[in-house]
Amino acid sequence: MKRNILAVLAVSAMTFGLAACNENPGDSSNTGSSNSAIASSDSSSSNTDFDATKGINTYNRDTTSGTRDGFFTKIGAEDAKSNDTLLASGFVTVTSNGDMMAKVAADEYGIGYSSLADLTDSVKALSVNGVVASNETVKDGTYTLQRNFNYVHKALDLTKVHDALIESYISFAFSTEGIAIIEGDGGILEDTALQNSKPWAQVIADASNATWVNTLGLTAAGATNTAIAKETINFTGSTSVEPISTALSSAWSSVFGANKPTVNHNHTGSGAAFTTLADGTGDIGFASRDFNESETGSHPEYVTGRICRDAICPIVNTANPLHDITVTELRGIFINARAFTDAAWAEENFGTTFEGESAITEWSALID
């Protein structure tokens, strides 16, 4: 289906905070720039060199990725989140949001998807069904490709130093200082979280936190318990949440002064959040999706919670004149073409027939 491309779509610049979205640290293509200029007007909107007859090259994350989970779930093709045979043929698998942007930035005819918090100007984010991803459109629900950034840890004994450290990290994340870090890294927070946050000095002075505060010997000037310096806290799980968790852990560890703990980050994907806690290699796991029943059912004693929300943005090369795309078109691009010609197969694998839809393999189907 062809349609005219908007010549100009002006978008106000917005800055997003931490928690839920982020970039992959360790990936030079992901610089953590602000999430402004989504589907913005630029010189590519009048690009006459883009050859729309070229085929569309699709880029995907692996099956452990929370970003892939959220993307396919939100475009109505949930089963494709964990089954590569349900994807359009010829796709390229990338390792992180940063790698996704690097690959699409290098491929004029490529398309992928990335966390809003991670976006840089190396690629162009498309609006979806005419709605631009922003703090406001995620909060009011008009931008539908969104997901939660979640955490999990084991049940804690707050009289033990190691467990008290984990509790202090979670408490710090929702302090005024922690909230600012989350927002600064692109996380989208509920208004209630912003209104209810307290400065760290008030958090540790709160009588309800006395057990873990006393265990650590925490004061406004640091921590008096020298055993803290012998502890290591391991952060695992989502690569999308890694920038937020890394920024938080850096600020959090500094509140202990000379007795600060060692911080170790090893983020390999949302699927590792529960498994690393279970095998003892992780202390706090993160997922850029909701935890599934098999995870929570296998360890009902684990404690889970949400850090923030994030948007998932379809991304294209900056030379691509396209600015907006529909959910139907995204299905046509990313899922196996058989789903549109074999109703029985589609019903069996996706639970629907995608009646009236068709595969989209060339840019000419989207660009006049």
At 106, the amino acid letter reads A
* pLDDT attached to residue 368: 84
The residues spanned by each domain of the chain are 54-146+311-362, 148-307
* pLDDT attached to residue 117: 86
Whole-number Å distance between alpha carbons of 190 and 228: 33
Sign of CA dihedral 326, 327, 333, 334: positive
* pLDDT attached to residue 280: 96
Give me the CATH code for the 54-146+311-362 domain, please.
3.40.190.10
* Helix, strand, coil % in the chain, rounded to nearest 5: 40, 20, 45
- Give φ, ψ of 62 to 5 degrees: -80, 175
Two domains, one topology: 54-146+311-362 and 148-307 = yes
Whole-number Å distance between alpha carbons of 357 and 344: 15
Whole-number Å distance between alpha carbons of 230 and 244: 24
CATH architecture for residues 148-307: 3-Layer(aba) Sandwich (3.40)
* pLDDT attached to residue 47: 62
Can you read off the two tokens belonging to residue 57?
């090259």
SS3 187: coil
8 Å CB contact between 118 and 315: no
* pLDDT attached to residue 194: 85
- Give φ, ψ of 43 to 5 degrees: -65, -25
C-alpha 43: how far from chain center: 28
Whole-number Å distance between alpha carbons of 330 and 290: 22
Cβ atoms within 10 Å of 307's Cβ, excluding its own: 28
* pLDDT attached to residue 2: 36
How confident is the prediction along the chain (368 residues), in pLDDT tens digits per residue?
A: 333 333 333 333 333 333 333 333 333 333 333 344 354 433 334 466 999 999 999 999 999 999 999 999 999 999 999 999 999 999 999 999 899 999 999 999 999 999 998 899 999 999 999 999 999 999 999 999 999 999 999 999 999 999 999 999 999 999 999 999 999 999 999 888 888 899 999 999 999 999 999 999 999 899 999 999 999 999 999 998 999 999 999 999 999 999 999 999 999 999 999 999 999 999 999 999 999 999 999 999 999 999 999 999 999 999 999 999 999 999 999 999 999 999 999 999 999 999 999 999 999 999 98
Residue in 317, 312, 323 with CA at minimum distance from that of residue 127: 323
pTM of the model: 0.79
For residue 244, the 8-state DSSP code is H
